[in-house]
Structure 1
Amino acid sequence: MFKIVNTSDMLNDAYEIRKKVFVLEQGVPLENEIDQFESSSTHVIGYDNLQSPFATGRFRTYKNGAKIERVAILASHRKLGYGKSLMQFIEAAAKEADYHTLTLNAQCHAQHFYETLGYTTFGDVFLEENIEHIVMTKTI
């Protein structure tokens, strides 16, 4: 179901999910969604039973650990438990890459979701692309 991206087709699938979720649904400008960290990140893609891409995320080196970013699931696949499975896969991949501290900028509406996975908040709410976020961390 979830895999580390290792082909250009898989990466394009991840970008398409991000465009649908962040650009079309949330109004993030495309030029801000695709950024300078694409090539230095480890990307993850999820394919459903019909081999259709439906979920993505990435992580990269950040400070003394890894930063998880661009976590997205298509609307058609939300509320089915895939978010938890995706995060568990990302965390396992990060741990395998020898990261022990994870950081993410959670959209505030998803804060409780990340708390159920063991993340704790750090600092104050801030705006990123006109969406309220909070920094969250977890040790693995």
Structure 2
Amino acid sequence: MASMNVTPVRRDADWEKARAIRTQVFVEEQECPPDEEWDGHDATSRHVLGWVDGEAVATARWRTVAYDEEIVAKLERFAVLGGHRGRGHGTQLVRTVLDDARRAGFDTFLVHAQAHLRDWYEGLGFESTGRAFEEVGIPHVEMVRREDP
């Protein structure tokens, strides 16, 4: 497994790389409408990029949301370029984003997982809330990870 270095998106050039990855994965591969992919939350979320051998190959973001009468960290937009999947990069990305949100003081984490990734997220400590829904034509499940503060 090639090692991936995860860094915060801090510059316009980093943001362009994150946008390119999300465009390829969500808009092109999964046929998500661009107006659904690009939302007002990008401006207020923390974004990260995953790098392998100097190439940006993965991205994700997290933001705060109200959930179950508390403010929690919602982890979103996990995307790994096709040629880099199956190497543990997605797992590393989730763990890095969890660590970042923990450092910001959060102990409850929410994901709206694509349904086919439910078992994978369970392996990362998330539990289904039982809420299933469709987003941009793709089945999703709501999942939560709660840790002791």
TM range (shorter): over 0.9
Please give the TM-score of this superposition, normalised by the length of structure 1.
Answer: 0.97
C-alpha displacement at 1:139, in angstroms?
Answer: 1.7
Match of 1:62 among 41, 65, 69: 65
> 1:124 and 1:138 mapped to 2: Cα distance?
14
Structure 2, unaligned runs of 5 or more: none
* Residues paired across the two proteins, number: 139
Where does structure 1 differ by over 6 angstroms across 4 or more consecutive aligned residues?
none
Deviations 1:35-54, CA, capped at 9 Å, x for gaps: 010111000111111x1111
- Hey, what does 1:96 align to over in structure 2? 103
> 2:21 and 2:81 mapped to 1: Cα distance?
7
Please give the TM-score of this superposition, normalised by the length of structure 2.
Answer: 0.91
> 1:31 and 1:124 mapped to 2: Cα distance?
24
> 1:124 and 1:87 mapped to 2: Cα distance?
21
> 1:101 and 1:12 mapped to 2: Cα distance?
30
- Hey, what does 2:42 align to over in structure 1? 38
Q: How does 1:24-35 map to 2 (within 5 A)?
A: 24-35=28-39
Q: What is the SS of the residue equivalent to 1:87?
A: helix
Match of 1:16 among 11, 15, 20: 20
Match of 2:116 among 109, 122, 125: 109
Structure 1, unaligned runs of 5 or more: none
Letter in 2 for 1:126: F
Match of 2:92 among 85, 104, 124: 85
C-alpha displacement at 1:123, in angstroms?
Answer: 2.7
